[in-house]
């Protein structure tokens, strides 16, 4: 009798499974805290928007505030009712200089309609030119800037949309108004 072979038992090789690492219990806690913080932040934002939409959020200017009293007016405007309109041109090439002097003029109640570069950058002296209006306008602007009589002139031109043109020259830093312009320096 032939020998019967015993059926061979097939064994499967064990798959090497790495045990799953469980997250520390601290991670879900941190996630929950972040979610709650985000919900509070969004909720606060929505509350702020809704509160300001109905007008109650603006407490600075109540109904009793006289808004026209907050507008700065020059002495010339107080006397005549006309707001002096000026353009400030950079004639020395220093970046941002026209904007700083424009801010100074605005701070003193003079309306600056335009700041730009002059036709050239080699102006040695700052000057103010009356384009339309009267001498008192030019005197008011030159007083704010600290210009001398030699630095002001009149070239009337009815096609201009400004009363006075200011051209900043290379002597800008010796003007008596220059230290005051430092507070109007652009942050970046």
Angle at 78 between CA 75 and CA 84, to 5 degrees: 70
pLDDT of residue 23: 58
Query: Measured between alpha carbons, how far is 2 from 79 in angstroms, rounded to an integer?
Result: 134
What is the structure's pLDDT at 18? 63
Cβ(112)–Cβ(83) below 8 Å: no
For residue 168, what pLDDT is reported?
97
Instruction: Round to whole Å and give the CA distance between 91 and 101.
Output: 12
This prediction has a pTM of 0.64
Alpha carbon distance 104, 99 (integer Å):
9
The confidence score (pLDDT) of residue 6 equals: 66
Paired tokens of 46: 């929505």
Predicted pLDDT of residue 8: 67
Residues of the chain where predicted confidence (pLDDT) is lower than 50: 56
Compute the chain's Rg from CA coordinates: 37
The whole-number pLDDT of residue 182 equals 85
Q: What is the pLDDT of residues 106-152, one digit of tens each?
A: 999 999 999 999 999 999 999 999 999 999 999 999 999 999 999 99
């Amino acid at each position: 009798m032939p020998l019967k072979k015993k059926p061979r038992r097939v064994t499967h090789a064990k798959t090497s499974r790495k045990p799953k690492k469980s997250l520390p219990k601290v991670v879900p806690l941190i996630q929950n805290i972040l979610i709650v913080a985000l919900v509070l932040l969004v909720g606060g934002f929505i509350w702020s928007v809704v509160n300001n939409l109905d007008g109650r959020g603006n407490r600075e200017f109540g109904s009793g505030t006289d808004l026209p009293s907050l507008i700065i007016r020059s002495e010339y405007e107080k006397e005549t009712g006309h707001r002096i309109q000026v353009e400030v041109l950079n004639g020395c090439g220093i970046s941002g200089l026209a904007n700083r002097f424009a801010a100074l003029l605005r701070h003193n109640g003079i309306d600056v309609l335009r700041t730009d570069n002059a036709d050239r950058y080699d102006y040695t002296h700052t000057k103010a030119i009356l384009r339309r209006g009267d001498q008192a306008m030019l005197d008011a602007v030159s007083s704010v800037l600290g210009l001398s009589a030699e630095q002001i002139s009149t070239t009337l031109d009815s096609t201009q949309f400004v009363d006075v043109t200011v051209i900043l020259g290379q002597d800008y830093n010796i003007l008596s108004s220059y230290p005051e312009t430092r507070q109007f320096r652009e942050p970046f």
